[in-house]
Amino acid sequence: MVSKTGSTSGVVCFGAPQGNHRPLPSQYGYQTGYTSATVADHFDLGILGGGSGGYVAAIRAAQLGMSVVLVESDKVGGVCLHRGCIPTKVLLQTAFLVDALAGAHRFGLDVQQNGLDYGVTQVRKAAVVSQLHRGIEFLLKKNKVTFVAGRGRLGGEKQLLVETGGGQSEYQVGSVILATGSRPRSLPGLPMDGKRVITSDEALEMAKVPDSAIVLGAGAVGVEFASLWRSLGAEVTLVEMAPSLVPLEDADIGAELAKRFMARGITCHTSAKLDSGSVQLSDHGVQVSITGELSAEVLLCAIGRSANVEELGLEAHGIRTERGMVLVDSRMETSAKGIYAVGDMVGGFQLAHKAMHEGVIAAEAIAGLSPYPLEGRHVPRTTYCSPQIGSLGLSEQEAIDQGYTVSCGVMPFRANGRALIWGEPDGFCKVVADSSNDEVLGVHMIGHEVTELIAGPALGALLEASPFELVHAVAPHPTLSEVLGEAALAVSGKAIHI
């Protein structure tokens, strides 16, 4: 247990200072109802940023008896809740229903579509985000978190400085967690006007679906928006510099996604490079030069995200960074004793669920506990395009490159009863294993609702399940979950249903 350093309770969470500052929550009409902190309060812990990693760390720290105050320049919940995971998936759910209705005749249903009211879709998106936002506010209040709206940075030793609407406040803290997240990255020279050339932030707020779009980058964000807009009627061209779509995934996943996307009418250019200087804007859209001239109503830049590490005072505290990311150990502690970092700013997979787990690890480490370290191979990755992607651990090529004796098993969904009942026969489950010691190295899936299915392999990885154990874990029938055991059997050539 961390001892109290003062009489006021609360963990301090500070929003990331950025070049393009967002309005303070008060400017959104955002009322928290939290207890307000005052100048010269002392706290056990200061957390810079109230996103997925920050607010979870704040709650866990409060549960462990630490004094808690939350300072955030935007709304608590961060990018994931307000400009990422949640709003994107709300829109993708509408896209899924549009596709399902278009194929309803296969099930004997005569469904008349009267068109899409995208305004209603946007209202529903806002409602889902608002409900979850209120839930986080309630949890922070329940755990007696004190909230301060402002932008924070590291001051002197065990000191945090916060710029608020009323000036600058100082807080003395025992420890610090940095959780300032990330922002969309752009190409140098790309004319980002927020209307014709946009990031995912602007894409989520569009009043209508574009008639046509060029999506630059075929990672998770790029393929999700390409899938969304195509389902809702747009002409979509996807441009990726790497040799395959979703280049961080297993090569077989990328090949299958390209096949399905092209069948849906999405034009895919891989091993392609865009010259940012060739981008020309007009009143009607954007024109670029890649493999010839391409034009569209909008160009979405989805080439990754940059960590928010500027203007935090890292250098003054000797906090080491590498390639724009803060370096941490297994306890999430930086090179400066007593200062921790979590989430997108520490590199690895930039995923909300990873940030949440890291927030818990950091809070428990500060409390003197021995938290279970998070290994990258235990973090599932999910992409919500159509078809969905769920993966865990090493790809086949990564396993080969690392010197493993690799054996793979693949179970196609068209041999699975539940997939056929759904009318979704495309896709597969692939298990990558080390044949020398019966170790599962990776699991890779593409198909209908596999983002739900990947949680099983994630638990298996944590428990160090072998292919034998994956086979003998009884799956109910008929369910898609049966494909995991069959793919594990296929590793040794003993699959029953293929």
Query: For residue 277, what pLDDT is reported?
Result: 82
Query: For residue 53, what pLDDT is reported?
Result: 96
Tell me what the mean pLDDT of segment 19-29 comes to.
35
Q: How far apart are CA 350 and CA 343, in angstroms?
A: 7
The fold adopted by the segment(s) 12-80+126-182+307-376 is FAD/NAD(P)-binding domain (3.50.50)
Q: Enter the tokens of residue 341.
A: 């970092």
The CATH code of the domain at 387-491 is 3.30.390.30
Paired with 388 in beta bridges are 447
Task: List strands edge to edge, sheet with 285-289.
Answer: 280-282, 285-289, 293-296
pLDDT above 90 as % of the chain: 81
* HSE-CB for 284 with a 13 A CA cutoff: 3
Q: How far apart are CA 248 and CA 69, in angstroms?
A: 38
- Catalytic positions, please? 477
Query: For residue 18, what pLDDT is reported?
Result: 37
Phi-psi region of 305 (alpha: psi -120 to 50; beta: other; left: phi over 0): beta
The fold adopted by the segment(s) 197-303 is FAD/NAD(P)-binding domain (3.50.50)
- Provide the 3-class DSSP secondary structure of residue 483: helix
Q: What is the pTM of this model?
A: 0.91
Going by the DSSP 8-state scheme, the letter that residue 208 receives in this structure is: S
Using alpha carbons only, give the angle 261, 396, 386 rounded to the nearest 5 degrees. 20
Structure confidence by residue, pLDDT tens digits, 347-379: 999 999 999 999 999 999 999 999 999 999 999
Q: How far apart are CA 158 and CA 338, in angstroms?
A: 9
Structure confidence by residue, pLDDT tens digits, 196-244: 999 999 999 999 999 999 999 999 999 999 999 999 999 999 999 999 9
Tell me what the mean pLDDT of segment 262-268 comes to.
98
Q: Do domains 197-303 and 387-491 have the same CATH topology?
A: no
Using alpha carbons only, give the angle 175, 178, 181 rounded to the nearest 5 degrees. 165
> Domain map of the chain by residue range?
12-80+126-182+307-376, 197-303, 387-491
Structure confidence by residue, pLDDT tens digits, 415-445: 999 999 999 999 999 999 999 999 999 999 9
